[in-house]
Amino acid sequence: MSACGSSDSGSPDGGAGNTPAALEGVGPISFVTGKDLSGNLQNQIDEWNKSHPDQQATLIELPEDADAQRQQFVQNAQTQSDAYTVLNLDVIWTAEFAANQWVEQLPESEFPLDKLLPTTVETAKYFDKLYGVPVDSDGGLLYYRKDLLDAAGLTPPTTWAELTDACGKIQPTNPGLQCYAGQFEKYEGLTVNFSEAVNSAGGVVVGEDGKPNVNTPEAKKGLDFLVEGVKSGQIPAAARTYKEEEGRRAFQAGELLFHRQWPYQYAKASATDGSSQVAGKFAVAPLPGLDGPGASTLGGHNYAVSKFAKNKKSAVDFIKFLVGEDQQRANLEKTSKAPTWAALYDDPALVEKFPYLVELKKSIEKAEKRPAVVKYQEVSTAIQSAVYDAMGGTTSSEDALKSLQGKLEELTKQ
């Protein structure tokens, strides 16, 4: 679906043209973000602070769960508080924040947008205007236990049937090892995992035309992969309480053969300080699908400037600092998070250290976007409920999709 929010009417600023208001004011700022899973943000801020004594940035961390983060960002905007200056916004919130005029339109010429992966820049636009700068991207990857697959003479699965087959061969000799997990708690991560399953079976949740189309045989095959997974035990019951971090801990404890996860896990699971039981034993592959490789949902974050903040010139400069090639390279090296700076994916030294960069770039470039609509949170909440109930066995896949289609039609109608 296009990033211009085809199901929303009207331009957020009444069509005032493409020149944003000047962003002025120099002084202290805050940088507000969901829980920093990488652990490197404070270091980046310290670096900025060293060279900007009069424009000190303070880190404010919100919860890990994307829905809970949004709630705090919305609350701050609704009270027009100046406590938050630079907002680390999930790619799914651009339409809502732009339409409500909670964030400033940004001057494109101030940022190196032509150096960034184009698909990430699209996520920061609303009615063709820029409201954020993509600083990290995200694509789903299949983490797998290479040691165990190698020992069984298997290559990483490209289809769900191969994944099931691998579990059947490897689990019997590895007591306690679970087959597969993703982010299956009832929150944004479930919307991502469901969308990937549907797309990987040839279906769509919301089509290119902005219309929901989820009551289809293809979408059902996608949902059934998750539902049947729980029923058969291929997906352990505990995985229905996993967000990113719970799953990561299970993978690092050696409890999972396969894990759908974002790139940040690569560095953490590779740690050799004793925190990971699987360092050197795993690798990553593209997500599998029904008949062949699957499709990832596009994740990532854009840095935006709150309408209600002071010191907006400092905010712009701070974003310029973080989006720059040097910061992005250093951040990738330390955290394995997906950069938006395109050339880093083709840098031989980085590719040697992070071999999955080649696949990750392809996966981000062709990743499916979640619908760019102002009521995105309501859309996602409807998806989460339907999928959570179907995976819990209280609704059939068929009924869940039928009723979800009705709700999505209501939420996205013109």
Residues forming the site for ligand GLC (CB under 6 A): 66, 90-92, 138, 183, 188-189, 192, 244, 262, 299-301
Backbone φ, ψ for residue 205 (5° rounding) = -90, -55
Q: Which is nearer to ligand GLC, 189 or 371 (CB)?
A: 189
| Nearest distance from C-beta of residue 55 to ligand GLC, angstroms | 27
- Tokens coding 13: 């600023």
**CB-CB contact of 85 with 303 (8 Å):** no
SS3 59: strand
| Nearest distance from C-beta of residue 297 to ligand GLC, angstroms | 8
**CB-CB contact of 250 with 190 (8 Å):** no
CB-based contacts of 174, cutoff 8 Å, min separation 6: 148, 257
| Nearest distance from C-beta of residue 64 to ligand GLC, angstroms | 8
Q: Which is nearer to ligand GLC, 93 or 225 (CB)?
A: 93
**CB-CB contact of 46 with 318 (8 Å):** no
Which residue is associated with the tokens 């790139």? 263
Q: Which is nearer to ligand GLC, 95 or 166 (CB)?
A: 95
| Nearest distance from C-beta of residue 184 to ligand GLC, angstroms | 11
Strand pairing category for 282-285 and 141-145: antiparallel
Residue number of the CB atom closest to ligand GLC: 299
Q: Which is nearer to ligand GLC, 125 or 220 (CB)?
A: 125
DSSP string covering 157-178, please?
Answer: PSBHHHHHHHHHHHGGGSTT-E
**CB-CB contact of 247 with 259 (8 Å):** yes
Strand pairing category for 282-285 and 129-130: unpaired
Q: Which is nearer to ligand GLC, 297 or 412 (CB)?
A: 297
| Nearest distance from C-beta of residue 196 to ligand GLC, angstroms | 11
| Nearest distance from C-beta of residue 126 to ligand GLC, angstroms | 16
| Nearest distance from C-beta of residue 39 to ligand GLC, angstroms | 15
Backbone φ, ψ for residue 409 (5° rounding) = -60, -45
First to last CA, the chain: 15
**CB-CB contact of 261 with 244 (8 Å):** yes
Q: Which is nearer to ligand GLC, 340 or 405 (CB)?
A: 340
CA dist., res. 272 & res. 346, Å (int) = 27
Q: Which is nearer to ligand GLC, 187 or 308 (CB)?
A: 187
* Residue 221, H or E segment: helix 217-232
| Nearest distance from C-beta of residue 301 to ligand GLC, angstroms | 6
Q: Which is nearer to ligand GLC, 138 or 317 (CB)?
A: 138
